[in-house]
Amino acid sequence: MNRIISSIFLLLSAGLYGQQPRVLIQTAPDILVEGSTLTLTLLVAHDNPDEVNVMAPPFTDNILLDYMLKGPRAVNADERRWTAIEFRFTLNSRGTFTFEPFTIMTPQGRIQTDPFDIIVQRSPDSPGGELSRFRLLWENVPANLKIGENALVSLRVIGWKNSAPLPASGLFLPPVPMGHIIESLPLSEKEKSGGIALKLRIIPLQEGVLTIANRRLTIENAIYEVPVLRITVSRARTEPR
């Protein structure tokens, strides 16, 4: 499964000048293990790859760059093609590694991505490499929202009784469906100890079905199974004159 970090919903930092181009980040596969490969793709909302340039941060010896490709790509139902800049890495060791900001430049302006982490696990086939598995549940999900309304939903780990704290909420952030606003909210200590991994404010901005796809997240020594979330979005009623 691809994870869009924005975008994982990675929030993009402010552009240095001019209008900001829109950028999404995808990583695959979902489970990263020592010795495997990682594909990281920057999707830039500009249809001419020749006019898009990227300045990559330095990479450590733990993350070996194999190649970089650039070309056009269709993104969802967008009528215009975007530019995809694809990096392929070999992961030489296990641990948590940080990608520093990428700088993307187009005729519309320049923007930097926020730093983000990847977690590389020991291979399940190696001694001591077995991972724990947890299922999660979306709570307080409304059946229907009108455009512009908001809902507060939570993501709970089912039967969480682990004495260790849950991973940081930012690691559970979903990709943001196009045409909607999703905001991560802080968690209280009581919510964390009760197994709440993430709390979101969702504001739909277009009619249809708001969908957050199911995901499988590998964080430290555990796999977290996140189910799909769907909310039907209807047009707001207009008051009669």
Across residues 59-77, what is the average pLDDT?
A: 86
Gap between the Cα atoms of 6 and 84, Å rounded: 16
Between 1 and 136, the higher pLDDT residue: 136
The model's confidence at residue 53, banded by pLDDT at 50, 70 and 90, is very high
* Amino acid letter, residue 160: W
pLDDT at 7 over 50: no
Gap between the Cα atoms of 152 and 137, Å rounded: 14
The model's confidence at residue 126, banded by pLDDT at 50, 70 and 90, is low
The burial of 208, by beta-carbon neighbours within 10 Å (0-12 exposed, 13-18 middle, 19 or more buried), is given as: middle
Percent of the chain residues topping a pLDDT of 70: 84
Across residues 226-241, what is the average pLDDT?
A: 78
Q: Which domains does the chain have, with CATH numbers?
A: 3-120 (2.60.40.10), 132-234 (2.60.40.10)
Q: What is the pLDDT of residue 5?
A: 40
Mean pLDDT for the chain?
A: 82
Q: What is the pLDDT of residue 18?
A: 46
How many helices (H) and strands (E) are present in the chain, helices listed first? 1, 19
pTM over 0.85: no
β-pair partners for 40: 27, 87
- Residue 190, phi then psi, degrees to nearest 5: -65, -40
Q: Which of 160, 133, 145, 123 is nearest to 201 (CA)?
A: 145
Question: Which tens digit of pLDDT belongs to each residue from 23-52?
Answer: 999 988 888 888 888 999 999 999 999 999
Gap between the Cα atoms of 25 and 12, Å rounded: 10
pLDDT at 74 over 80: yes
Between 40 and 74, the higher pLDDT residue: 40
Gap between the Cα atoms of 97 and 182, Å rounded: 26
Q: What is the pLDDT of residue 83?
A: 93
The burial of 107, by beta-carbon neighbours within 10 Å (0-12 exposed, 13-18 middle, 19 or more buried), is given as: exposed
Q: What is the pLDDT of residue 77?
A: 66
